[in-house]
Amino acid sequence: MKPRICLYTDSTAPSGVGQHMLTLAEELQDGFTLSLVCPPSPTGSRLLGRARALGIRTAEIPVGRADSDALLAAFLRDAHVELFHCHAGVMIEGYAGVRAARGAGVPAVVRTEHLAEPSTVFPVEELPDLVHSPYHRPDRRLSDAELAALVTGFQKEYLDVVELVDRVICVSEGVRDSYLRVGVDQAKLRVVRNGIRPTRGAATPQDVRARLHLPPERRIVLSVGRMVDVKGHRFVLGAVDKVVRSRPEAAFVWVGSGPLERELRERVRLMGLEDWVWFAGERSDVPDLMAAADVFLLASAVEGLPLVVLEAMAAALPVVATRVPGTSEVVVDGVTGRLVERGRLDGTGDIDALATAILQPLEDPELASAWGRAGLARVQHEFTSERMAQQTAEVYAELLR
């Protein structure tokens, strides 16, 4: 009988995490009996629907209700789950799920960290920007003492939860190092870098430009990600102005939405950049956009190991990105693209360096093509979904023995 594994997230917007879980499920389903659990939400429901299409048992279990833990525990017992695999998009996710799995008597618990621990990435003076963002704590800024107490409390609760976990999988070495620094036992940590199944675009570049109402001569600098402060849209805006002075045919196409969208649209208007920044919204045709783009740009202030960068490299796009944990393990500076230092959450930073990095592939098509070919080869060699699943299955085997 195949071992029974439950893949779980309590994120109500499991975008990259959800895609990772689904890819893992596709690769592992021949060797394991799988189930997939997440809370009710539009994104979660789509994830569960795709899992059901693969023949995987699913459950939509809410979080934060008085009966949430009991519902999850009952599901795990009914499915006779032998290993519970919790996926955390940020460090504070998944705690109740881990506790419920242990309470239900699941023999083995694994947790995957998809993002570096924030307090090891950001200087103390920037952490208030994280906890006071429009989607965390908009009421007032914390004092230094309050901030220190908050970070200490987060880390203590996290370490208490990790005591209940048998293995912590980290999606990059940078993520692993961040959790080592906050006190996770090295013996529990395993690095399994993300991998993908590339999806090719079907539309021609001309069709994509027409779909976006872009003239055929425009050169597309594509970004994909939620409009939240850590994704670096404010930092990018400073570079847009400098890039389009040299290359007015450049068009910055931003895919995604989020709490900062209204602010970003207003900034674009005030800077007079409406002709150069396209807000493309949520899209189901990202592979087509990648096939039509000239450069892929990701200016995040923090990452784990971004799937979207792997997807861009698999589309043979040159990548311009910030030198942050995870991303810098994928993009090889000067070989598959260009890495620059990240900006601050308020948008300040070395904007000249970012603009120069974007202009390089725009102004040198041969260089752009060479970076794209090298990126494609790197993904095909090192970042496949098969390799990711095999290494994950090895972690499972360690515990199931």
CATH code of the domain covering residue 105: 3.40.50.2000
Residues 173, 175, 179, 181, Cα dihedral to 10°: 70
* Tokens found for residue 133: 């963002």
| pLDDT at residue number 141 | 79
| pLDDT at residue number 137 | 67
Which residue range forms the structural domain that includes residue 308? 205-382
Residue partners of 297: CB distance under 8 A and separation at least 6? 221, 222, 223, 236, 252, 319, 320, 321, 358
Do 65 and 10 have their domain in common?
yes
Do 97 and 142 have their domain in common?
yes
Q: What is the pLDDT of residues 122-135, one digit of tens each?
A: 888 888 777 777 66
Do 148 and 219 have their domain in common?
no
Do 213 and 271 have their domain in common?
yes
| pLDDT at residue number 130 | 78
Do 261 and 331 have their domain in common?
yes
Q: Which of 340, 341, 332, 328 is nearest to 371 (CA)?
A: 332
**Residue-wise DSSP of 14-74:** -SHHHHHHHHHHHHHTTTSEEEEEE-SSHHHHHHHHHHHHTT-EEEE--SSSTTHHHHHHH
Do 60 and 31 have their domain in common?
yes
Q: DSSP secondary-structure letter at 143?
A: P
Cβ-count burial of 57 within 10 angstroms (0-12 exposed, 13-18 middle, 19+ buried)? middle
Do 218 and 336 have their domain in common?
yes
Do 250 and 135 have their domain in common?
no
Do 20 and 149 have their domain in common?
yes
Tally the domains of the chain.
2
Q: What is the pLDDT of residues 224-269, one digit of tens each?
A: 999 999 999 999 999 999 999 999 999 999 999 999 999 999 999 9
Q: Over the range 156-186, which residues count as b (16 or more CB within 10 Å of their CB) and which as e? A: eebeebbeebbbbbbbbebbbbbbeebebee
Q: Using 50 as the pLDDT threshold, list the residues of the chain that sit under it.
A: none
Q: How many C-beta atoms surround the C-beta of residue 250 within 10 A?
A: 20
Do 370 and 390 have their domain in common?
no
Asked if 73 and 50 touch (Cβ cutoff 8 Å), the reply is no
Do 242 and 339 have their domain in common?
yes
Helix (H, G, I), strand (E, B) or coil at 131: helix
Do 230 and 355 have their domain in common?
yes
